[in-house]
Structure 1
Amino acid sequence: MSDVNSRIGEIVKSSDVVLFMKGTPLFPQCGFSSRAIAILDHLGVAYDSVDVLQDMEIRQGIKSYSDWPTIPQLYVKGEFVGGSDIMMEMYEAGELEQLMSETGVARAS
């Protein structure tokens, strides 16, 4: 498991915003992942995504890495933010946009 944790750690640190999701941004494979992508796209931030359906080690490992049982999972500047419900609550309250701004997340080009 430590190998998976180090792989996940490298992924999380490789980009300011990383979304572990089911599917891809162009073809999400669940409603929660679709909602998470819609929020990030609406915020206009640059982000990377990881399709957990393509790697079973990552799919299981991310749950223990974050101590969060569901996917999608959002990381900003290496810190776990939450799943799609938390993303939606933060987005509606203006907190997610504020977090992106305060942490200096780049805008999508």
Structure 2
Amino acid sequence: MDIQDVIRQQVTSNPVVLYMKGTPQFPQCGFSAAAVQILKRCGVSAIAAVNVLEDDAIRQGIKEFSNWPTIPQLYIGGEFIGGSDIMREMFESGELQQLLADAGVVKSAG
């Protein structure tokens, strides 16, 4: 299976996928740590996290898959959302919580 197929399968078989450096328990960079904190503050308890430091093919492949050069990368319902800066902006506006509620991952705030 080609790496793009592996990534496609990961993002479509999990409601929330975070491609990050490290793990939610032990993030290996500040941006990945921020992304995990934002998801936790939204009420996401189970994050399907993919540690890009463990697999160079995934690390390079995810950048090509999303056409986005940096890690972390968040996917909700198979859709690419963005990195930690975009996640922060969406969290502050309430948009991220709504997306997560729509995906059935967290209870709706309203």
Bucket of the pairwise TM-score, normalised by the shorter protein: over 0.9
TM-score (norm 2): 0.92
Tell me if structure 1 keeps the 8 A contact 2:42–2:106.
no
Root-mean-square deviation (Å): 1.2
Distance 1:29 1:106 in 2: 26
Q: Which residue of 2 aligns with 1:20?
A: 19
The answer to whether the Cα contact below 8 Å between 2:74 and 2:80 also exists between their aligned partners in 1 is yes
Counterpart of 2:9 in structure 1 is: 10
Q: Share of identical aligned residues, percent?
A: 59
Q: Distance in 2 between matches of 1:20 and 1:92?
A: 21
SS in 2 for 1:27: coil
Provide the TM-score with structure 1 as the length reference: 0.93
Structure 1 runs, 4 residues or longer, greater than 4 Å off: none
Superposed displacement of residue 49, structure 1: 0.2
Q: For residues 61-96 of structure 1, what are the alpha-carbon distances to aligned partners after superposition, in whole Å with 9 as ceiling and x for unaligned? A: 000000000000000000000000000000011110
Deviation at 1:106, TM superposition (A): 4.6
Say whether 1:59 aligns with 2:55.
no
Give the residue type in structure 2 aligned to 1:56: D
In structure 1, how many angstroms separate the alpha carbons of the residues matched to 2:2 and 2:42?
Answer: 33
Give the SS at the match of 1:75.
strand
**Which residue matches 1:70?**
70
Q: Which runs of 5+ in 1 are unaligned?
A: none
Matching residue's letter, 2:81: V
Q: Report the secondary structure of 2:25's partner residue.
A: coil
> Number of residue pairs matched?
106
